């Protein structure tokens, strides 16, 4: 967490329930800018995006289940 808040690149590999979400959500909210999170779990990505959007934090996901139009919209929003 300290490294992320100091603006350094971080690779975080932790078990379920270890606090990974906080490790990328807090620095992203506090510092602004773009945070990229790579996750193999579609349901986790959807849950995280919904939780962030519920508190007015812009968030999106890119995954193989999306249509071309959905992926294009996320890409447009990013730029």
DSSP structural state of residue 64 = T
Structural domain boundaries, residue 37: 2-78
- What is the domain count for the chain? 1
CB 3 within 8 A of CB 24: no
Q: Residue 7's pLDDT is what?
A: 80
Element holding 9 (H helix, E strand) = none
The model's pLDDT over 35-47, given as tens digits with 9 standing for 90+, comes to 888 777 888 888 8
What is the distance between the alpha carbons of residues 43 and 49, in angstroms, rounded to a whole number? 10
- R_g (Cα) of the chain, nearest Å: 13
The model's pLDDT over 25-77, given as tens digits with 9 standing for 90+, comes to 887 788 777 888 877 788 888 888 898 899 888 888 988 889 999 999 999 98
User: Token pair of 20, please?
Assistant: 């990974």
């Amino acid at each position: 967490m300290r490294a992320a808040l100091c603006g350094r690149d971080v690779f975080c590999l932790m078990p379920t329930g270890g606090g990974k979400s906080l490790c990328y959500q807090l620095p992203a909210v506090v510092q602004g800018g773009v945070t990229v999170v790579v996750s193999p779990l579609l349901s986790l990505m959807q849950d995280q995006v919904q939780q962030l959007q519920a508190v007015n934090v812009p968030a999106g996901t890119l995954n193989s289940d999306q249509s071309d139009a959905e992926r294009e919209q996320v890409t447009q929003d990013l730029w």
